[in-house]
Structure 1
């Protein structure tokens, strides 16, 4: 059986900010649904694919987006924190389609900031709303806290989306101030 040579774009156009490697069983319609883009946009903007009805595992497609993927943003501290603390968010395609935001932060225990017992990572997407996820610690001292938000397929990260990490008292439902913050823009990725 002859092998098919992978088709890889020389570059993606400026509005196409992510790349996807085709897997067995993929087709353009399925991928357009997965990435929430028009099928015609995928076809027209991947000129290295002669016939968009025929794609092969290993082909690489340029995927449109408002934010480049993958994207890593260093968050800015908003309160006085001990030496050695820091936080980032990693934005990429979600494992089940759509988009995800992963949080990673080296922080003291939440009680350092007051009567709090957990940290929560949040993203606020203008005109869409807020999504949040509890962060969980590693056993080191200070711990590294992590968590992930997988956005529903109806939501998409847009420029000027705001990500934060802050403490919460989970028993009383009281949120503390913001410990770290960042704004997502094409220039920050």
Structure 2
């Protein structure tokens, strides 16, 4: 007789394991622990809602290392006067190459509106670590939607109160302008 499998989702996660990972077909606790570069015992002890770590199913949700809950979407709000419809989001999730990544997507006017600039940069600033960024690329619409992904080194973890920003820059001179859009990543700001 067929038995219905219920997806197991933790009600809460421990402070250093606020990330969420959804089990995929073929996953085991062992390969998930390797993916996150942690000891198998640490993964087991931080997921008490899985009574037998040798039996997991696609769709089960595990608590994984992370100091903020993710996936997480943060709204980027204007810091300066901008045209109607200008805005963006930063999406924090696992990087396809391991670790964490921040994807930026924003509807913005041409960078020349803010001065002698020809590109936009999306950046994340992590307290006590520093900043990481990448150039945004536009779609053909007018105004365009600009996007990029910033992959963080696997030794870096996003912490509460990290800032995500977009600002214009000049690709020839290397001079950047002030922040146009900004958001702050913390537990209360994450929209899942």
Q: Please, what TM-score do these two structures have when normalized by structure 2?
A: 0.86
Gaps of 5+ in 2: none
The aligned counterpart of 2:106 is 105
The aligned counterpart of 1:130 is 131
SS of aligned partner of 1:174? coil
1: distance between equivalents of 2:37 and 2:163? 21
2: distance between equivalents of 1:33 and 1:107? 40
CA shift in 2, pair 1:53/1:128, >3 Å: farther
Deviates more, 1:45-54 or 1:148-157: 45-54
* RMSD between superposed Cα atoms in Å: 2.2
2: distance between equivalents of 1:9 and 1:179? 38
Give the length in aligned residue pairs. 188
Tell me, yes or no, if the aligned pair for 2:109 and 2:144 is still in contact at 8 Å. yes
Tell me, yes or no, if the aligned pair for 2:20 and 2:71 is still in contact at 8 Å. no
- Find out whether 1:139 has 2:132 as its counterpart: no
Gaps of 5+ in 1: none
CA shift in 2, pair 1:40/1:147, >3 Å: same
SS of aligned partner of 2:133? strand
CA shift in 2, pair 1:72/1:59, >3 Å: closer
Tell me, yes or no, if the aligned pair for 1:163 and 1:183 is still in contact at 8 Å. yes
Deviation of 1:37 (Å): 4.6
- Find out whether 1:12 has 2:12 as its counterpart: yes
Deviates more, 1:76-85 or 1:18-27: 18-27
The aligned counterpart of 1:67 is 68
CA shift in 2, pair 1:3/1:154, >3 Å: farther
The aligned counterpart of 1:84 is 85
1: distance between equivalents of 2:90 and 2:40? 29
Instruction: Could you list the structure 1 runs, at least 4 aligned residues long, displaced by more than 4 angstroms after superposition.
Output: none
Deviation of 1:54 (Å): 4.5
Tell me, yes or no, if the aligned pair for 2:19 and 2:70 is still in contact at 8 Å. yes
